[in-house]
Amino acid sequence: MTRLSVLLTTLLAASLATGSRAGDLEEVVIVAPYGAAISNDRVPGHVQFAGAEDVQRLQPFDLTDFLDRGFSGVSVNHAQNNPLQPDVYFRGFSASPLLGMAQGLAVYANGVRANEPFGDTVNWDLIPVTAIRSIQLGGGARPMFGENALGGALVVRFKDGFDSPGTALEGYGGSFGRAGAVIQGGGNDGTHGWYGSADYLSEDGWRDHSKTEAVRGFGSFAIEGEKGRFETSVLLGHTRLRGNGPSPVELLAEDRRAVFTWPDETRNDAAQITVEAERSLPADWRLSGNIFWRHAETDTFNGDATPFEACGDPPEFLTEVDCNDPDAAPLLDSQGQPLPAELDGDELDAINNLGTRTQQSRGLSLQLTRDANWRGELRNNFVAGFSLTRGDTKFDSDVELASLREDRSTTRTDLRAWELRTRLDTVNTVRSAWIADTLDLTPEFTLSLAARYDVDRVSLEDRTGTLPELNGEHEFTSFNPSLGFAWRPIEGLVAYANVGRTSRAPTPVELACASEDAPCNLPNAFLADPPLDKVVAESFEGGLRGRWHEKYAWHAGLFRVVNRDDILFQATGGAQSNIGFFQNIADTRRQGIEAGVQGTQGPLTWSLEYALVDATFQDSFIESSPNHPDAVDGLIEVPDGARIPSVARNLLNAGVDYRRGRWSLGADLSAQDGVYLRGDEANLLGRTGSFWTANVRAEYRFNEAFELFVRIENLFDREYETFGLLGEPDEVFEEFEDPRFLGAGPPFGAWIGVRLRL
């Protein structure tokens, strides 16, 4: 990899006499992760776009808030009940910051994969929405975007000094103690461009004990010329997030702001350096590439009810199994002594899960493209490239005994179960090569072919010396092709279809926790690594899109994705079902329809988007779900055709904006079905309730420099839930009997702010 780095560095240095970019994202579609683009009317699929103006118009809290309200087929749930830690679903596939989720979306920021190496998780809190220049979301299995693009790929590009000159300051505050400030500025002299932004956020949260703080910064320096382009950028983030998870339904009925146990705190610190370059070559060829380094450290502290039993005559000891089990043995400390069941007269009836993940990624890519005419006016876009990435993770975790206070917070004791500690090193290495050709066979018909070959190597090493079963070397290879067409029978109309395949290798967290006989306490203890099969997604997409009188745009399409050997986290215990193991369980299928229309009539713009997502298990299987009321010996049978939990079947978004003089007024409405609960994959307990929410916003521009803005969220203060799982509420509330835990949506909130442009 060192020699390749030197080669690419030479390329970057040679690009200082640098060219014009492909154009605005609204006109072109990025078809490979490192910037190759073609015009939208030649793309065999439905791709959604947004620019910086679209983002600012919706006044989103963060990127996921914009995706939820601005894009079709997207929903966000409140599994953690922190606005910067949502699970994002698109067409039934998820991208989540939480270990244990079945990840299915590839996320790129400035050409760098944002899925972290340990579990393919996405830390949404580290992507500054203020610095975003453009967003592209494409569905279907997308082999060109590599690992984890099972359900689609999200591509984010940040601003630079050429597209975002000027200086702007912003400040706002309002409900939930939320206050924020942003400063950004950029400029260029025609050849050199510079841009920087920094934002700060603090809020108390609408739930108890949910304070959040975030500081993020981005800066770039670019050079553009006739022959190419060079850019180096730095992304920094420091966040402290408190999201205390779902609450028992009986507790929600008493107080929607109450939390089950706390604290549940996540601290993220990240830095990313990226160097990108493009260089024009003779005969319409173009060479591009990037080098990146990314460091992310995540510290977690989760107070929870204890999974241990107190056994024996005084002095009692704690054990992991039932006291009547002949294998019941006390938990031991680092000196080999039994840990007590009480401390200073207080029962040790809680635990603190303590974890640290230090993840470091680095890599490089080279890509050769050619955009040229052939046979007269027909276009041909050719792309070929390769990449090499490596992700190193150092994972440390401990289980600390604690007592549960009256307010359901946990104490600190420094009494740690020594045999439950984890000290794990993992290395992911991915070597990839890809090729694609988009060819006009006639002026009206474009054929698209693509293929990608990946070799994934995952190694795991136990640093404690006591868990040799964790050590392992795994290799996964995959060849994933796609074929599609775009047909333009008349002006303003495009018919398209595409078939493709992509895959994802099991992540280190899944490989380290894949034994039914040695369940793990996510996100902490890992005990075994029997092999898992990779997940392979086979996809079809087809539909129509068009424009009418240049004022209206519409689309309608079908999609179908089948995952072979999907991986599911099987719960075996824990107050919130966080103890268990990963397993290849069944084929799954996501299929549905998407349709939408948008228009402009004078000062009025509007849009209406609908998506139906039918996400089901395609094989019957036996699920471990010990908290399910219908379980027999902790097991339930999931039938073929059961719907996948957490995926809403019907999604509707509508929006309207009106601009007149100095005023800008807007509103958006979102509605969706209820979802089945995790742990109820058999669909026996019903869904959460369907719901809709409405948001409004307004801006008043005093002059070109000064602007006042207002945003109101959940205008009608509707009570709703977006997420659910099964747990053991009686571990904390002895009188509670309902095993359902729900993630409640936020109530009415209002914020006011000012924006200054210099």
Q: Output helix, strand, coil percentages for the chain, rounded to the nearest 5.
A: 10, 55, 35
CA dist 402 and 350 (Å) reads 5
Find the length of the chain. 758
**How many CA atoms lie within 13 Å of 41's alpha carbon, on the beta-carbon side?**
16
CA dist 454 and 276 (Å) reads 22
**Residue 565: closest CA among 644, 619, 641:** 619
Question: Do 226 and 16 touch, CB atoms closer than 8 A?
Answer: no
CA dist 209 and 410 (Å) reads 13
Distances (CA, A) of 262 to 406, 421, 521: 11, 21, 17
For residue 12, what is the enclosing H or E element? Answer: helix 2-14
Question: Do 653 and 609 touch, CB atoms closer than 8 A?
Answer: yes
CA dist 305 and 574 (Å) reads 8
Which DSSP symbol is given to 55? H
Question: Do 628 and 726 touch, CB atoms closer than 8 A?
Answer: yes
Q: Give the per-residue pLDDT at 34.
A: 75
CA dist 233 and 110 (Å) reads 9
**Residue 243: closest CA among 268, 215, 209:** 209
Question: Do 244 and 294 touch, CB atoms closer than 8 A?
Answer: no
**Residue 713: closest CA among 751, 741, 757:** 751
Instruction: Report the DSSP beta bridge partners of residue 138.
Output: 47, 153
- Dihedral Cα 11, 13, 16, 22, nearest 10 deg: 30
CA 653, chain centre distance (Å): 20
CA dist 716 and 693 (Å) reads 7
Which DSSP symbol is given to 85? S
Q: Give the per-residue pLDDT at 1.
A: 47
Question: Do 719 and 700 touch, CB atoms closer than 8 A?
Answer: no
**Residue 663: closest CA among 705, 627, 701, 703:** 701
CA dist 566 and 553 (Å) reads 36
The 10 Å Cβ neighbour count of residue 78 is: 23
The 10 Å Cβ neighbour count of residue 490 is: 8
DSSP output for 634-701:
TEEEEPTTPBPTT--SEEEEEEEEEEETTEEEEEEEEEE---PPBT-TT--S--PPPEEEEEEEEEEE
Alpha helices in 224-363 (DSSP H): 249-254
* Largest distance between two CA atoms of the chain: 91
Residues of the chain with pLDDT below 50 are 1-26, 525, 527-529
The 10 Å Cβ neighbour count of residue 462 is: 20
Q: Give the per-residue pLDDT at 629.
A: 95
- Phi/psi for 752 (5° steps) reads -130, 145
CA 266, chain centre distance (Å): 16
Please tell me the pTM assigned to this model.
Answer: 0.93
The pair of structure tokens assigned to 333 is: 């400390």
DSSP output for 522-572:
TTT---B----PPEEEEEEEEEEEEEETTTEEEEEEEEEEEEEEEEEEEEE
CA dist 335 and 415 (Å) reads 11
The pair of structure tokens assigned to 87 is: 């699970």
CA dist 589 and 709 (Å) reads 43
Distances (CA, A) of 317 to 143, 327, 329: 53, 14, 9
CA 476, chain centre distance (Å): 23
CA dist 337 and 341 (Å) reads 13
Q: Give the per-residue pLDDT at 8.
A: 45
CA dist 595 and 436 (Å) reads 28
The pair of structure tokens assigned to 81 is: 């009940």
Alpha helices in 167-260 (DSSP H): 249-254
Cα-trace Rg, the chain: 26
DSSP output for 294-319:
EEEEEEEEEEEE---EEESSSSPEEE
Sequence-distant (6+) residues with CB within 8 A of 465 are none
Q: Give the per-residue pLDDT at 532.
A: 87
CA 119, chain centre distance (Å): 11
Burial of 152 (0-12, 13-18, 19+ CB in 10 A): buried
Q: Give the per-residue pLDDT at 217.
A: 98
Q: Which domains does the chain have, with CATH numbers?
A: 2-306+349-757 (2.40.170.20)
CA dist 225 and 231 (Å) reads 12
Instruction: Report the DSSP beta bridge partners of residue 184.
Output: 168, 197
Residue 714: left if φ>0, alpha if ψ -120 to 50, beta else—which one? left
Single-letter residue type at 254:
E
Question: Do 141 and 539 touch, CB atoms closer than 8 A?
Answer: yes
Residue 501 in 3-state DSSP? Answer: strand
Sign of CA dihedral 578, 581, 582, 588: negative
Residue 346 in 3-state DSSP? Answer: strand
